[in-house]
Amino acid sequence: MQYRTLGRTGVQVSSLALGAMNFGAIGRTTQDEATAVVDAALEGGINLIDTADMYGRGESEEMVGKAIAGRRDDIVLATKAGMPMSDEPNHRGASRRWLVAELDSSLRRLGVDHVDLYQIHRWDPTTGDEETLSALTDLQRAGKIRYFGSSTFPAHRIVEAQWAAREHRLGRYVTEQPSYSILQRGIETHVLPVTEQYGLGVLAWSPLASGWLTGAIREGRDITTSRSTFMPERFDTSLPANRARLEAVEQLAAIADEAGLSMIQLALGFVTAHPAVTCALVGPRTLDHLHTQLAAADTVLGPDVLDAIDAVVAPGTDLAAHEKYDTPPALLDPSLRRR
């Protein structure tokens, strides 16, 4: 396992990190199974575990807390807040009111007195940067969080938040957690150059593209992944975007074969090869899944392999741009672009 400095924090984290979204109802993972995955991840050299309050409405945090009991100090523990936790309109977002209350709930579920990294799950257009950053700065000074970061922020919002921190003399985001894979390379255009400029650590989620890059999805096979049941449109090969993905996967499989690599090694090696990326978040449901992902921990792709990947999916290209989570609100809601 390789270790890298998380932005400018001085904290050393593993190049593969454990994402806990699949713990609980989402991944149909029991506590015993989640604990076994955590045990194997730590034994394999992973030292960063990332979860969120909204994963199973707190269930993932509870399961992570039980799995790490007694060894908290060996783990860089990260969680997130901001996504809806109920139908109550104030049980979401990045206001001081919500973040202060929800962090206490997350700490209780995790069974800890602090988290190492607290992330705003999505940019909240209804809340000003000063409001959010001042709340996070106070929580940091209170010792409840060590650092704070953003997740899936558009590049311009990352910049605005850095400026706001400087202007108001507040703590700043030190990490960004974007979606990044061979099939979704759009962040190479704006987000990654910005994170490099400001020295942010980058935790890349969905490096296996929701299962498309595991090797299980190939031409002529039935597509059966954990996500195909509740997001069937992402795997309907009659749709143009999915046909493009499938065609790319076939070409990538040939590149992996020629290089003597598995598809998972190719996919994770690609993400961790980018100089702006600190670590790739893997989200296994089972021990078998984790072991195949840990096998990629020390994979280093040569220039010839990276050039071949570029020829299949051009740098800065998203093969499924409609699945991006950082689209400006005005592009999604017509009322926001009309007087």
Residues assigned a catalytic role:
55
**Cα 171 to Cα 185: distance, rounded to the nearest angstrom:** 29
Residues 68, 75 contacting (CB under 8 angstroms): yes
Give the DSSP H/E element, type plus range, for residue 308: helix 303-312
**Cα 311 to Cα 269: distance, rounded to the nearest angstrom:** 17
The label of the residue with tokens 């257009």 reads 125
b (16+ CB within 10 A) / e for 196-212: eebebbbbbbbbbbbbb
Q: What is the DSSP letter of 113?
A: S
Q: What is the DSSP letter of 37?
A: H
Q: Say how many C-beta atoms besides its own lie within 10 A of residue 229's C-beta.
A: 9
Q: What is the DSSP letter of 92?
A: S
Q: What is the DSSP letter of 13?
A: E
Q: What is the DSSP letter of 236?
A: -
Nearest Cα residue to 42 out of 79, 69, 82, 10: 69
